[in-house]
Amino acid sequence: MKDVRVEYFKSSGPGGQHKNRTLSAVRAVHIPTGLTAVGQESRSQSLNREMALSRLAARVSRHFAPRKRRLASRATRSSHERRLASKKKRGVVKKFRAERFRSDE
Protein backbone atom coordinates (compact mmCIF):
# COMPACT_ATOMS: atom_id res chain seq x y z
CA MET A 1 0.00 0.00 0.00
CA LYS A 2 2.93 2.38 0.48
CA ASP A 3 3.63 2.21 -3.28
CA VAL A 4 0.00 2.96 -4.20
CA ARG A 5 -1.52 6.42 -4.62
CA VAL A 6 -5.32 6.59 -4.41
CA GLU A 7 -7.19 9.42 -6.15
CA TYR A 8 -10.89 10.20 -5.93
CA PHE A 9 -12.87 11.86 -8.71
CA LYS A 10 -16.37 12.23 -10.09
CA SER A 11 -17.46 9.24 -12.13
CA SER A 12 -18.65 9.67 -15.69
CA GLY A 13 -21.96 8.86 -17.33
CA PRO A 14 -25.60 9.50 -16.50
CA GLY A 15 -26.77 9.61 -12.90
CA GLY A 16 -28.01 13.07 -12.13
CA GLN A 17 -27.30 15.11 -9.06
CA HIS A 18 -25.85 12.31 -6.94
CA LYS A 19 -23.18 11.49 -9.51
CA ASN A 20 -22.46 15.14 -10.21
CA ARG A 21 -21.82 16.01 -6.55
CA THR A 22 -19.93 13.06 -5.09
CA LEU A 23 -16.37 11.90 -5.64
CA SER A 24 -17.21 8.20 -5.70
CA ALA A 25 -14.87 7.00 -8.46
CA VAL A 26 -11.42 5.80 -7.43
CA ARG A 27 -8.16 5.60 -9.37
CA ALA A 28 -5.35 3.52 -7.86
CA VAL A 29 -1.84 4.19 -9.20
CA HIS A 30 1.16 1.94 -8.55
CA ILE A 31 3.91 4.55 -8.35
CA PRO A 32 6.99 2.43 -9.26
CA THR A 33 5.46 0.99 -12.45
CA GLY A 34 2.90 3.66 -13.33
CA LEU A 35 0.13 1.07 -13.69
CA THR A 36 -3.39 2.34 -12.97
CA ALA A 37 -6.76 0.81 -12.22
CA VAL A 38 -10.12 2.53 -11.91
CA GLY A 39 -13.29 1.61 -10.06
CA GLN A 40 -16.45 3.59 -10.74
CA GLU A 41 -19.23 1.02 -11.07
CA SER A 42 -20.69 1.44 -7.62
CA ARG A 43 -22.20 4.49 -5.89
CA SER A 44 -20.04 3.67 -2.88
CA GLN A 45 -16.53 5.10 -2.73
CA SER A 46 -15.34 2.29 -0.48
CA LEU A 47 -16.59 -0.43 -2.84
CA ASN A 48 -15.00 1.35 -5.78
CA ARG A 49 -11.75 1.61 -3.83
CA GLU A 50 -11.75 -2.14 -3.14
CA MET A 51 -12.41 -2.87 -6.83
CA ALA A 52 -9.65 -0.53 -7.98
CA LEU A 53 -7.13 -1.97 -5.54
CA SER A 54 -7.96 -5.58 -6.46
CA ARG A 55 -7.66 -4.75 -10.18
CA LEU A 56 -4.37 -2.99 -9.56
CA ALA A 57 -3.05 -5.97 -7.60
CA ALA A 58 -3.92 -8.26 -10.52
CA ARG A 59 -2.20 -5.94 -13.01
CA VAL A 60 0.93 -5.62 -10.89
CA SER A 61 1.17 -9.41 -10.43
CA ARG A 62 0.78 -9.90 -14.23
CA HIS A 63 3.41 -7.22 -14.81
CA PHE A 64 5.99 -8.95 -12.64
CA ALA A 65 5.08 -12.54 -13.63
CA PRO A 66 7.81 -14.33 -15.57
CA ARG A 67 7.07 -14.42 -19.28
CA LYS A 68 6.92 -17.67 -21.17
CA ARG A 69 9.76 -18.18 -23.57
CA ARG A 70 8.70 -17.87 -27.17
CA LEU A 71 9.10 -20.96 -29.29
CA ALA A 72 10.28 -20.25 -32.80
CA SER A 73 7.72 -21.41 -35.30
CA ARG A 74 8.51 -23.02 -38.60
CA ALA A 75 6.56 -23.29 -41.82
CA THR A 76 5.26 -26.75 -42.63
CA ARG A 77 6.78 -28.61 -45.53
CA SER A 78 3.59 -28.44 -47.60
CA SER A 79 3.18 -24.69 -47.09
CA HIS A 80 6.83 -24.20 -48.07
CA GLU A 81 6.29 -26.25 -51.24
CA ARG A 82 3.09 -24.32 -52.07
CA ARG A 83 4.92 -21.03 -51.70
CA LEU A 84 7.73 -22.17 -53.99
CA ALA A 85 5.24 -23.49 -56.55
CA SER A 86 3.36 -20.19 -56.63
CA LYS A 87 6.65 -18.30 -57.04
CA LYS A 88 7.64 -20.56 -59.91
CA LYS A 89 4.26 -20.08 -61.59
CA ARG A 90 4.53 -16.31 -61.20
CA GLY A 91 8.03 -16.41 -62.74
CA VAL A 92 6.74 -18.35 -65.73
CA VAL A 93 3.97 -15.76 -66.26
CA LYS A 94 6.47 -12.91 -66.10
CA LYS A 95 8.87 -14.68 -68.44
CA PHE A 96 6.07 -15.27 -70.96
CA ARG A 97 4.99 -11.64 -70.72
CA ALA A 98 8.57 -10.42 -71.27
CA GLU A 99 8.99 -12.66 -74.34
CA ARG A 100 5.67 -11.46 -75.75
CA PHE A 101 6.64 -7.84 -75.18
CA ARG A 102 9.95 -8.33 -77.01
CA SER A 103 8.26 -10.00 -79.97
CA ASP A 104 5.85 -7.04 -80.36
CA GLU A 105 8.69 -4.57 -80.94
The predicted-structure confidence for 51-93, as pLDDT tens digits, reads as follows: 999 999 999 999 999 999 999 999 999 999 999 999 999 999 9
In angstroms, how far is the first alpha carbon of the chain from the final one?
82
* Contacting residues for 5 by C-beta, under 8 A, at least 6 apart: 28, 29, 31
Which top CATH class is 4-64? alpha beta
Per-residue pLDDT band for 105 (boundaries 50, 70, 90) equals low
Assessment of whether the complete model's pTM goes beyond 0.85:
no
